[in-house]
Amino acid sequence: LLRALRAARPPAELGALLCNLSQAPEGRRALLDRSRRAVQRLLGLVRWPESAELRRGVVGALRNCCFEHEHHEWLLGEEVEALPFLLLPLAGPQELPPEQMEQLPLELQYLPPEHQREEEPEIRKMLLEALMLVLIGDEPEEGMENLLQVGIPEDLEEKLRSLDREEEEEWRKERER
C-alpha cells in the first residue's frame, strides 16, 4: 500500500483504505514509521487536484495519525514540516497586513490570487481537526485543560455558520457553471 503512494497517479481508493487502516494503532504505527517516509508522501497528496476522494482519505489518515501525541514534535519539526501542508488548503486568497503575513510560514505568504481554499467542507473540517490535535497535544498547559470544550458565543457561531453557507453556495454555483 505504501508503495502505491509513490505512483505517479495513486488510485483514488487508496486514500479511503489508508484512512480506514489508520484508525487502528497498528495502521498509524505503519504510517508514522519514520524510515518509510509515508507521512511525507501523504502530505504531498493533501492538495492532489485530480481526486477529492483521494484527498479526503489522505487527510483522514493524517488526522488519525495526529492522535499519536508522541509524534507531534516530529510532525511539526524540520524532518516533516506538516504545518504548511495542513494550513495551505485552508488559506484563502485574501490579503493580510504585512506584519501578519510575515508571521506565516513561507509557503503561506503572498499566495497568488488564483489560490483557492479546499472546496470540500469535510476535508476542511478534517484539516482543522488535525491541526487542533497536533497543536494542542494531549497534555495542555495549566489553565488550558478545557480548550477543546470552549464555548463559542452564539453570535460568533452564527456568523461563522453564515459565512460557511455563503462559501458553500458560491462553490455550488461555480460547480454548476
Q: What CATH class is the domain 1-139?
A: mainly alpha
Q: What is the mean pLDDT of the chain?
A: 87
Taking 3-state DSSP, the helix, strand and coil percentages for the chain, each rounded to the nearest 5, stand at 60, 0, 40
Distances (CA, A) of 135 to 6, 37, 41, 115, 120: 28, 21, 21, 25, 23
Query: What are the residue boundaries of the structural domains of the chain, listed by start?
Result: 1-139, 143-176
Confidence label for 137 from pLDDT (cuts 50, 70 and 90): low
61: left (phi over 0), alpha (psi -120 to 50) or beta: alpha
Q: Flag whether the pTM goes above 0.85.
A: no
Q: What distances in angstroms separate CA 138 from CA 25, 67, 133, 143, 148, one per listed residue?
A: 16, 9, 8, 14, 11
Asked whether residue 147 carries a pLDDT value surpassing 70, the answer given is no
pLDDT tens-place string over residues 94-113: 777 888 888 888 888 888 88
